[in-house]
A = this chain, B = another copy of it.
Amino acid sequence: MSAAQDDHRPEAGTDPRAPRRRDAAGTRQLLLESARDLFATNGYRATTVRDISEAAGVNVALINRYFTSKVGLFQACLSGAVNELGAVPRNISLEQISSRITAQLAGVDKARHPHQLLLLLRTSGDEQAEEIRLGILHSFAERLASAAGWEPEDPDSDRMLLHAQVALSAALGISLLRASTGLEPLASAGEQELAEPFHRLITALLSRT
């Protein structure tokens, strides 16, 4: 487990029957993390608020207190995900971005945030949440495209953006298939094995011709 998060977890080693320490920000964070993992892993509908609250070791009613509703919590998860996944330097090379995505796919820091990417494939049916999701996906694709030298006023802008979105689709597809099936050898391929085909894919789609 990561230290950074556990700081918020109220007294990790205490007797669970002891009355809970009061820390609004902490419990909020706890709920957010549990929800993100469960939503990503099992999807929105398959995840119940009781699952989440139980995983966080927190009362169910607090979900509605802090996030208004289940979809409110889901929206918060999405908005939070962009912050962590989004820390990408401005002028990154295609090689670098390919390696980064591969690392995410391989689940390097799986312990902390399992399948963070998967959250972007989960649908809630809520319109507002869908917009957030779409926004994240769009900006991801744009960043991918710009790493390939794309610029907004490019004459065949659409083509490059399309290619980037195809590459993004591939990454997400891999992520989903690895997580939700035992499809071998894909499911248990390490970062090394994954890097080669994925780098090929990126190069084929995005390198300047």
B205 adjacent to A197 (CB under 8 Å):
yes
B193 adjacent to A200 (CB under 8 Å):
no
Binary contact track A68-111/B, C-beta < 8 Å → 1, others 0: 00000000000000000000000000000000000000000000
A201 adjacent to B198 (CB under 8 Å):
no
Roughly how many angstroms separate A43 CA and B200 CA in the complex, as a whole number?
32
Known A-B contacts: A134-B182, A162-B186, A166-B201. Give 9 more (CB < 8 A). Answer: A158-B185, A163-B197, A165-B177, A166-B197, A169-B170, A200-B205, A201-B201, A203-B204, A204-B205
Of B130, B186, B198, which one neighbours A181 at CB under 8 angstroms?
A: B130
A residues 177-206 near B (Cβ < 8 Å) are 177, 180-183, 185-186, 189, 193, 197-198, 200-201, 203-205
A183 adjacent to B43 (CB under 8 Å):
no
Contacts of A180 in B (CB 8 A): 121, 123
A58 in contact (CB, < 8 A): no
Of B169, B181, B183, B204, which one neighbours A177 at CB under 8 angstroms?
A: B169
Contacts of A46 in B (CB 8 A): 45, 123, 125
Contacts of A181 in B (CB 8 A): 130, 133-134, 137
Of B121, B174, B204, which one neighbours A201 at CB under 8 angstroms?
A: B204
B189 adjacent to A200 (CB under 8 Å):
no
A40 to chain B, nearest CB (A): 13
